[in-house]
Structure 1
């Protein structure tokens, strides 16, 4: 398995709608096909991928997106968020985002959206506020609103063994409160 395999799968083989819905069969497909490569990515073994924009993005997608599929409904789903964010920051520093189309650029920026840091969300607003990223920008506004209000994503509390506040529980009872 290689970076082009990840990119081909994510951007050519699957329907875009599959990326965002909970589907045990799709989760299992990612786990069976990319689980070993994902494990290597979590150990930092794919460092050679960080020299090219598409390869770098492939590593970020594995850490940020595939983690959510492989470890759905467990704390491990979020365990690589910080590493994915740091790699995305480094890719942006190298101006890799300027070499990507808007769909790929969105996936480079999504680790910023997944962060529970208000400071990181200030940067995310800027990153997503560009032509071709309007839908992502609107999603980022919703994410930032939650972080600004609670300082974290309440829908992660149970999985991460965090005690929810009364205000968070009230929020979670509302339709559309989680992603």
Structure 2
């Protein structure tokens, strides 16, 4: 799949993943609908049909050079952190790209690429690996993520602020899970991990933060 043309081969990824466009004048209702579509798996079939090849290229490290540009970096993060989940849903490979996505996200925070992104929805997606990637520094990264989202709320137009406040709350809910278990228990079955009794109780309740966006 050709993700774009000319000097910005990543534009096809961004244009697909952000039907919101690049204007802060977007209506709140349309913007929230786009978030539901992104975050609740509504795009899986189209990702598989259109972006399988380029997602595999990103997973193999063949698109790392895109990260020289802020939006190119964001596109690779999307491929590794989001499209991988659609393409390989239900298998360990869905999460295998998380460390690479996290590295790109952290580097982008450090080198100014995150700050250079033009709209808050780009920055939200840039930060997703901070909460997704499991590891010993997970809580600290989620605290960073919460702070970044709070900054987005403060800077967003008033009509969009409720959407971003809900994403601050969601990150806080994820923090509670990681503080309790040190990992995302809902991945245990896919990753063939034995659940602890406390995780079993959590899984039985079925109340997962990634399913509660915008509540």
Given the two structures, how large is their TM-score scaled by the length of structure 1? 0.91
1:7–1:58: 8 Å Cα contact kept in structure 2? yes
* TM score, norm. by length of structure 2: 0.76
Which residue of structure 1 lines up, in the alignment, with residue 18 of structure 2? 11
Deviating above 4 A after TM superposition, structure 1's stretches of 4 or more consecutive aligned residues are none
Contact 2:58-2:79 within 8 A present in 1 as well: yes
Tell me, yes or no, if the aligned pair for 1:157 and 1:164 is still in contact at 8 Å: yes
Establish whether residue 174 from structure 1 lines up as the match of residue 195 from structure 2.
Answer: no
Q: Distance in 2 between matches of 1:125 and 1:135?
A: 16
Deviation (angstroms), 1:73:
1.5
Q: For the residues of structure 1 that align with 2:171 and 2:209, how far apart are their CA atoms?
A: 13
Question: Quick check: 1:118–1:147 contact (8 Å CA) kept in 2?
Answer: no
Match of 1:122 among 115, 123, 140: 140
User: Could you tell me how far apart the structure 2 residues matched to 1:77 and 1:134 are?
Assistant: 28
* Alignment coverage as a number of residue pairs: 177
Task: Tell me the SS of whatever aligns to 2:205.
Answer: coil
Q: Tell me how large the CA RMSD over aligned residues is.
A: 1.8
Does the CA contact (< 8 Å) of 1:118 and 1:148 recur in 2? no
133-142 or 80-89, larger mean C-alpha shift: 133-142
Q: Rg bigger for which structure?
A: 2
The 3 A distance-change label for structure 1 pair 137 and 121 is farther
Aligned with residue 96 of structure 2, among 64, 69, 79: 79
> What do residues 122-144 of structure 1 show as CA deviations (whole Å, max 9, x unaligned)?
23323333132433221111111
Gap runs ≥5 in structure 1 = none
In structure 2, stretches of 5+ residues that fail to align are 4-8, 21-32, 154-163, 211-215
